[in-house]
Amino acid sequence: MAVVTMRQLLESGVHFGHQTRRWNPKMKRFIFTERNGIYIIDLRQTLDYIEKAYDFVRNTVAEGGSILFVGTKKQAQEAIAEQATRVGQPYVNHRWLGGMLTNFQTVYKRLQRMKELEALGDLSGTAAGYTKKETLQLSREKIKLTRTLGGLRDMQKLPAAVWVVDTKKEHIAVDEARKLGIPVIAVLDTNCDPDEVDFPIPGNDDAIRSAELLTKVVAAAVADGLIARSGRRRGGDEKPEAGVATDEPLAEWERELLEEPKKADEQQPAAEQPAAEQPAAEQPAAEQPAAVSGQ
């Protein structure tokens, strides 16, 4: 079963890139066409890259690794915090502090300090042993640490991989991950550099629905990996819900993009169909019982 469908990608606006004057030539191979001065991303490639990223994240988590979710732009903040929390992964959805990865020992000490302040309890009044002024200072320190490091509360070591929404805005996080050899999974809009990412997902990194859908996909892969790690097998081939499709009408050119893979499959030789499409691979299994009953 597909991790996410073409219709879900279309309805979430994943296919909308930047204006044609704002682009990175290295992204040319991921562009399907241009409409009204806006680049349209090839969602057929997006689907393929989503599958690759999904498998990598699932296997990484299954082997005991963690995924750091990073997205500090407004459009991604809520989805990053919600999905990372849902699957118990660390996240940064406000300001990225330089050295969060490359100087993790110092960051870890600040995390311990944050927990010490939390252990003091309510700092709104006068804490035991502290003056009113000291209590106010401690309260402000606690709020600041919680805002910047709250999502990393349970991170004991460096993550096995990093999920990033908008590599241009989060360039410091990407640079630190690359310096440490930590794989980067990221949304690649038409103005991004694909050479900076290990597992790219061509798509819109500016729309709220797009960032939410793709972050849900990564969180679903994490959930799958956690289940595999615990040794429990899931029934059937069902995967966690990646997004919710609606029945909103599509524009004519969007419908053409949606139907393009079907036309391509119909033009392929019959001998190639079992390898290209999963339903074709199921046909021999459906005919086998009839052959056995005939004997």
Among 91, 84, 93, smallest CA distance to 220 is for: 84
Place of tokens 């990225």: 96
What is the rounded average pLDDT of the residues 116-127?
A: 72
Q: Same domain for 133 and 248?
A: no
| CATH (domain of 96) | 3.40.50.10490
84 shares its domain with 223:
yes
Could you tell me which residues come within 8 angstroms of residue 1 by beta carbon, excluding any fewer than 6 positions away? 237, 238, 239
Residue type, 81: A
Domain that holds residue 152: 102-157
Q: Is residue 292 a part of any domain in this protein?
A: no
- The CATH number for 138's domain is 1.10.287
Query: Residues 22, 144: one domain?
Result: no
Distance of CA 86 to the CA centre of its chain: 13
Query: Is the model more confident about 186 or about 236?
Result: 186
**Residue 264 scores a pLDDT above 60:** no
Please check whether residue 93 lies inside any domain of the structure: yes
Average of per-residue pLDDT across 76-99: 95
Tell me, yes or no, whether 131 and 199 share the same domain.
Answer: no
C-alpha span between 103 and 100 (Å, rounded): 6
Residue 289 lies in a domain: no
Residue 260: its pLDDT value, please?
56
Contact 186, 201 (CB under 8 A): yes
Q: Is residue 125 assigned to a domain?
A: yes
Q: Confidence band (pLDDT; 50, 70, 90) for 258?
A: low
Q: How many residues does the chain have?
A: 295
3-state secondary structure the chain: CCCCCHHHHHHCCCCEEEECCCCCHHHHHHEEEEECCEEEECHHHHHHHHHHHHHHHHHHHHCCCCEEEECCCHHHHHHHHHHHHHCCCCEECCCCCCCCCCCHHHHHHHHHHHHHHHHCCCCCCCCCCCCHHHHHHHHHHHHHHHHHHHHHCCCCCCCCEEEECCCCCCHHHHHHHHHCCCCEEEEECCCCCHHHCCEEEECCCCCHHHHHHHHHHHHHHHHHHHHHHHCCCCCCCCCCCCCCCCCCCCCHHHHHHHHHHHHHHHHCCHHHHHHHCHHHHHHHHHHHHHHHHHC
What's the mean per-residue pLDDT of the chain? 82
Q: Give me the pLDDT at residue 24, please.
A: 86
Q: What is the pLDDT of residue 136?
A: 85
Q: Does 232 reside within a domain?
A: yes
Structure-token match 């819900």, residue found: 241
The mean per-residue pLDDT over the stretch 256-276 comes to 51
Report if residue 269 sits inside a domain. Answer: no
pLDDT-derived band of residue 125, with 50, 70 and 90 as boundaries? Answer: low
Residues forming beta bridges with residue 187, ordered by sequence position: 201
| Cα dist from 252 to 16, 182, 256, whole Å | 15, 42, 6
pLDDT at 113 over 60: yes
Residue 126 makes CB contacts below 8 A (sequence gap 6+) with: 132, 135
CA–CA dist 31, 28 (Å, integer): 5
> Domain check: are 88 and 131 in the same one?
no
Q: Which pLDDT band, with edges at 50, 70 and 90, does 244 fall under?
A: very low
Q: Are residues 134 and 190 in the same domain?
A: no
pLDDT, tens digit, 9 for 90 and up, residues 147-204: 989 999 989 999 999 999 999 999 999 999 999 999 999 999 999 999 999 999 999 9
* Band of residue 21 on the pLDDT scale cut at 50, 70, 90: confident
In a domain, 191, yes or no: yes
∠ CA 117-123-126, rounded to 5°: 125
Cα distance between residue 293 and residue 295, in whole Å: 5
pTM, entire model: 0.75
Please count the structural domains in the chain. 2
100 or 234, which is more confident: 100
Tell me the longest C-alpha to C-alpha distance in the chain.
91
The structure tokens listed for 289 are 């019982």
